[in-house]
A = this chain, B = another copy of it.
Amino acid sequence: MDYRIIETKARVLADNDAAAARNRQTMRQSGAVLVNLMGSPGAGKTSTLKQLIARLGTKYRIGVMEADVDSDVDAKAIAATGTRVIQLHTAGLCHMDADMTARGLDAMGADGLDLIFLENIGNLVCPAEFEIGADLRLMLLSVPEGDDKPLKYPLMFQVSDVLLVNKIDTLPVFDFDFDALRNRVFALNPKMTVLPVSAKSGEGFDAVADLIAALLDERGATA
């Protein structure tokens, strides 16, 4: 609705796509897999990372980039697991772009890592528009957010490869129709993998870890 902003955005997005392509090349050369973890504030992104680190950290060398507008709460939580982690501050911006991601990879030191997670800013709008060059776009939706989110934030569901439906243990206390959610998701993105999980209990995370391990093995085979 504001022409000036949208024009600016188009140029920014074109620059971003070029930077994302460079990141993809960097990843291919290093043999590492880059996962872009996205979801609303409080959807459970950091707890999800802890569940995945517990399952994949003994076999693979993992690095985590924690992106936040401010604070280092999440980086502290990940550092406590003994995983290599850096905190990126976006200075008010609502997403990580590909160029910031490249700087993050440089700062963390991606060499020698097999698997790198970017925990994006908690937001269902902006991160969907800024491709970072990830091998896997992992989206988190938590049950308390509601089953109507694909109707309201369609792009995020269109650009993601895997949807984790988190806090599945709270289904009894919310009006959440899992079948309605699936139908809405598949209408937007027929290829989406939808997996129910609980980052609190760990339920469902073996399947997520298997999926990521398969991607790593595939990358290892072609590297």
Contact = CB atoms under 8 A, between A and B. Distances in A.
A166 to B, nearest CB: 10
A5 to B, nearest CB: 6
Contacts of A146: 41-42
A140 to B, nearest CB: 12
Interface string A58-76: 0000000000111101100
A56 interface: no
Q: Copies of this chain, how many?
A: 2
Interface stretch (A119-127, A189-197, A206-214): A119-127
Contact of A12 (B4, B42, B99): B4
A70 B125 CA distance: 11
A174 B169 CA distance: 11
A151 interface: yes
A170 interface: yes
B122 A124 contact: yes
B1 A91 contact: yes
Given A1-B90, A170-B170, 6 more contacts: A1-B103, A6-B92, A68-B152, A70-B154, A71-B152, A94-B94
Contact of A94 (B92, B123, B142, B170): B123
Contacts of A142: 42, 144
Contact of A153 (B69, B91, B93, B167): B69
A58 to B, nearest CB: 27
A201 B8 CA distance: 44
A111 interface: no
Of A97, A129, A153, A154, chain B has the most CB atoms within 10 Å of the CB of A153
Contacts of A94: 94, 123, 125-126
A122 B93 CA distance: 15
A221 interface: no
A122 B90 contact: no
B5 A152 contact: no
A222 B143 CA distance: 45
A215 interface: no
B41 A145 contact: yes
